Structure 1
Amino acid sequence: MNRYLINLSYVGTHFRDNGRLEDPQSVEGALEIALKKFRPVNEFKIKLSSRTDAGVHALNNAVHVDLERYNGKPYEPDKLTQGLNRTFGSQKIPIRVLRTRHVPLTFHARLCAKSRTYLYRVGVLRPEFCDDPEQIHPFTRFIPIDEHDRCYFIANKNFDPDRLKRAAALCEGYHDFRTFMAIARGNLWQQMPTYTLRRIERITVERGSSMASAFSRKLADRYYEYWDIRIKARSFLYNQVRRMVGAWIAAAEARITERDVQQMLTVPAKSSWSSTTRRILSSVTMSFLEQLQKSRHSLQPTETTVTYMDGSRKVFRGEIERDIPKRLGFIIDNSPDQVPACVLSQFLYLGSQDCVRREVFEKYEISHVLSVGIETPPFEGCPQVRCNFIECLDLPETDLAVVIKQSSEFIEGCRRDGGRVLVHCNAGVSRSTSVVIGYLMKHHDYSFLQALGLVKSKRPCVQPNVGFINQLKKLQ
């Protein structure tokens, strides 16, 4: 197996996005179709460095792919470059491969990337033309055809580039950018508190110039002032850059204030997004009906299996349904969770009620057991183990402060006695996790994010409910 790094550029106007769809309307799909012409014997997967949104162009994106030839020999990188560009050219696909290289199998296009840079170009109608009704209207104003889908044009006499620069400067550094993230369906990682923490290395707002040809450049310079906005970071959230630029432009147009932008950062939540801030989109304006029709064509056919309480099952595909063999109306978990996670070395353990077993106590030398919300299951053979039960419902409105106070006293008493404590609830996901996080914050000076990060690194399945998370944040 050989791994190849492919650098490419493309015009993203008519691409849906970089999602993994095997059709020419996505960058990755078009690349997969072109690579299959080389007839590799393996089922390959393309890994992109950056998943650009629909309508976004790329000057130099990177992907890696593993290809295995039928004779075991590697493909020549130059032949891959030539073959891909030949396919894209013949199919009128606006993708150009810049270079192909043979890289080690340890290389990963996304994980090994040091930084990513976005460029947004903004054309602002000069103030002397802002009173002209013809130039104000989006369908009658002059826009150089060379800049179509390559620049965002604004007609607002209130536009102030200094306000734009000050608003942009607020976003530099390490912040929680949850306000600026668009929710992607099915991505459970987006719900994690630490997922939206990102560091923006540099933001620059500089005067730009028209990219129009000589034929229309004179008119372009007459009507517009150009500004280049560059944002550099190692990684970005879904739609983060578009929404940030939208907020900065709204501040430049005095539709929101710099204080509003600051609030979006200090109070990271969907509710902090200002309704007067529009997301910077492609300059192509579609009716709502056209958007629905376009999104319908991007849907993939799928099958849905429905299991009823009596065990009967049906498969639905569009308007067609068919019966399949019966099974139990529930899923049996035959893998008990009997391995507690060691949060603090030789002292604090976290797990589910399956860990309350004599074999587990002996193996990990457990001397104390704290049961949160569920009483300790009966066990024999360990009379020396000290048990404590604290009532706690796994509901957002449960008062966690009282539970943490009682629990921390028991855990701290175990530490003073030189013992080892197992904290558990039913599944070891929400209640016991919240207790351990609260103890780390109260007795070990952890911040909420530090405590959550430590616990999750030891037991990845943990997830306190939303109410517990909000209460734990207030304990800082």
Structure 2
Amino acid sequence: MNPQENAPATGRQLSDVLSSVRSSYSKPLPGYEGQIMSRYQVGVCMDEVYPSIYIGDLGAAKNRDYLKHVGITHVLNTAQGDKMATVNTNADFYKSYGIKYLGLELLDFPSANIAKYFEESANFIDEALKNGGKVLVHCFMGISRSATISTAFLMIKRGMTAKEALIQIKQNRNVFPNEGFLRQLADLDNTLAKQRSHKA
């Protein structure tokens, strides 16, 4: 076995992995399986990327009736705010629908420190799944911030490497975190690999 295969990845290697994985573009919209209903008709774009974890965009986040319809119990907004390319929701927005909420004030810049939210977000998602819930993790377009946070969850709570987690997600949704976020995932990969080696 090549020891390099299990070595922590670099940000560049993660970018190459994402470029090599083909996404499934013909998946039906959750809740409309078997029906001829496009994402554009419903105004929602979200995909199940791992059992009970969905990545979506602004349209998905704002459509509370749809979220209730498909059984979403938790929403993690990785783009909370009122600046450009953010989504101005909060806990009160979902309260009457019984949906739990966590908001992260993050801009989609390579220099943004998304890593500081990895543990808190992973715990939020994990708690939801342990209680049989379904989680929407979203940002403005559902491509970078939400994908990064979802990847970190799979690494921290499901024991995946960064490559494995990104492949899992990219196969189900066409995501592409920015280069700074990929570097932070590579750093997390290295940290988790060291922790695993110490336990072995």
TM-score normalised by the chain length of structure 1: 0.29
Q: Are 2:73 and 2:99, in contact at CA under 8 Å, matched by a contact in 1?
A: yes
- 5+ residue gaps, structure 1, are 1-172, 175-190, 198-333
Q: Are 1:431 and 1:464, in contact at CA under 8 Å, matched by a contact in 2?
A: yes
Query: Is residue 2:111 matched to residue 1:397?
Result: yes
Q: Are 2:55 and 2:137, in contact at CA under 8 Å, matched by a contact in 1?
A: yes
- Describe the SS at the equivalent of 2:17: coil
Tell me what 1:416 maps to: 130
Tell me what 2:100 maps to: 386
Tell me what 1:349 maps to: 54
Q: Are 2:18 and 2:176, in contact at CA under 8 Å, matched by a contact in 1?
A: no
Pairwise CA distance, 1:380: 6.9
CA distance in 2 between partners of 1:437 and 1:380 (Å): 25
Residue correspondence of structure 1 range 33-112 to structure 2 within 5 A = none
Q: Provide Cα deviations, 1:78-113, integer angstroms capped at 9, x if missing partner.
A: xxxxxxxxxxxxxxxxxxxxxxxxxxxxxxxxxxxx
Pairwise CA distance, 1:383: 2.7
Tell me what 2:16 maps to: 193
Question: Which of 161, 168, 183 is matched with 1:470 structurally?
Answer: 183
CA distance in 1 between partners of 2:58 and 2:77 (Å): 8
Tell me what 2:26 maps to: none
Pairwise CA distance, 1:413: 1.5
Pairwise CA distance, 1:428: 0.6
Cα RMSD between the aligned structures? 2.9
Q: Provide Cα deviations, 1:163-200, integer angstroms capped at 9, x if missing partner.
A: xxxxxxxxxx97xxxxxxxxxxxxxxxx9421687xxx
- Describe the SS at the equivalent of 1:350: strand
CA distance in 2 between partners of 1:434 and 1:195 (Å): 12
Q: Provide Cα deviations, 1:47-67, integer angstroms capped at 9, x if missing partner.
A: xxxxxxxxxxxxxxxxxxxxx
**Aligned partner of 1:365: which letter?**
G
- Describe the SS at the equivalent of 1:475: helix
TM-score normalised by the chain length of structure 2: 0.66
Residue correspondence of structure 1 range 143-292 to structure 2 within 5 A = 192-194=15-17
**Aligned partner of 2:17: which letter?**
T
CA distance in 1 between partners of 2:18 and 2:153 (Å): 23
Q: How many percent identity over aligned positions?
A: 29
Q: Name which structure has the greater RCO, CA cutoff 8 Å, separation 6+.
A: 2
CA distance in 2 between partners of 1:387 and 1:196 (Å): 32
Q: Provide Cα deviations, 1:210-239, integer angstroms capped at 9, x if missing partner.
A: xxxxxxxxxxxxxxxxxxxxxxxxxxxxxx
CA distance in 1 between partners of 2:18 and 2:68 (Å): 37
- Describe the SS at the equivalent of 1:388: strand
Query: Is residue 2:154 matched to residue 1:449?
Result: no
Q: Are 2:49 and 2:172, in contact at CA under 8 Å, matched by a contact in 1?
A: yes
Change (3 A) 1:397 1:419: same
- 5+ residue gaps, structure 2, are 6-13, 21-39, 81-87, 190-200
Residue correspondence of structure 1 range 20-31 to structure 2 within 5 A = none
Q: Provide Cα deviations, 1:262-305, integer angstroms capped at 9, x if missing partner.
A: xxxxxxxxxxxxxxxxxxxxxxxxxxxxxxxxxxxxxxxxxxxx
Question: Which of 354, 362, 368 is matched with 2:68 structurally?
Answer: 362
CA distance in 1 between partners of 2:104 and 2:19 (Å): 33
Question: Which of 79, 86, 89 is matched with 1:373 structurally?
Answer: 79
Count of equivalent residues: 152
Change (3 A) 1:195 1:426: closer
In our comparison, the structure showing a higher alpha carbon Rg is 1
Tell me what 1:440 maps to: 154
Q: Are 2:15 and 2:182, in contact at CA under 8 Å, matched by a contact in 1?
A: no
**Aligned partner of 1:348: which letter?**
I
Pairwise CA distance, 1:419: 0.9
Q: As a proportion of its length, which structure holds more strand?
A: 1
- Describe the SS at the equivalent of 2:155: helix
Tell me what 2:23 maps to: none
Q: Are 1:358 and 1:381, in contact at CA under 8 Å, matched by a contact in 2?
A: no
CA distance in 2 between partners of 1:196 and 1:361 (Å): 30
Change (3 A) 1:337 1:192: farther
Q: Are 1:369 and 1:385, in contact at CA under 8 Å, matched by a contact in 2?
A: yes
Change (3 A) 1:194 1:358: same
Change (3 A) 1:195 1:338: closer
